[in-house]
Amino acid sequence: MTHEDFMREAIELSKKNVENGGGPFGAVIVKDGKIVGKGANNVVTHTDPTAHAEVMAIRDAAANLGTYDLSGCTIYTSCEPCPMCLGAVYWAHLSKMYYGNTKEDAAKVGFDDAFIYKEMELPVDKRSVPAERILGEEAYKAFQMWDENPDKIKY
């Protein structure tokens, strides 16, 4: 299969998802020329604000491959990822990404995540969701435990 074939799979997932009451987003993950993970936007159907197509495809691929490290895999997503999904792409160590619609295309139909990018640039105390640090020293103990653990698995 070609890159275009895999992208068409992602696009078809997005279209079928709309037909089933979900959002217009789909994604597939490919390793060694085979689809190892699929996902569609299930925010409404799963009542889960993190159930974006890319995240669902990453979860599916990780489960199917038995690993959290998706190095060597490529994601084909029907739309340029939002900040959360882009972060997930990096955390999963995906090696390459192809996308169909742009974030500007998404904004035109009501999926505008520009405000999140703007919020991320602001100092914590200037963001629209109030945030306050508490128990920092206590919380840091878990980091110290992790740092000192010779058997930790880095990810």
Active site (catalytic) residues: 54
CB 58 within 8 Å of CB 38 = no
The residues near 153 (Cβ < 8 Å, ≥ 6 apart) are none
Inter-CA distances, 69 with 36, 44, 48, 73, Å: 13, 28, 23, 9
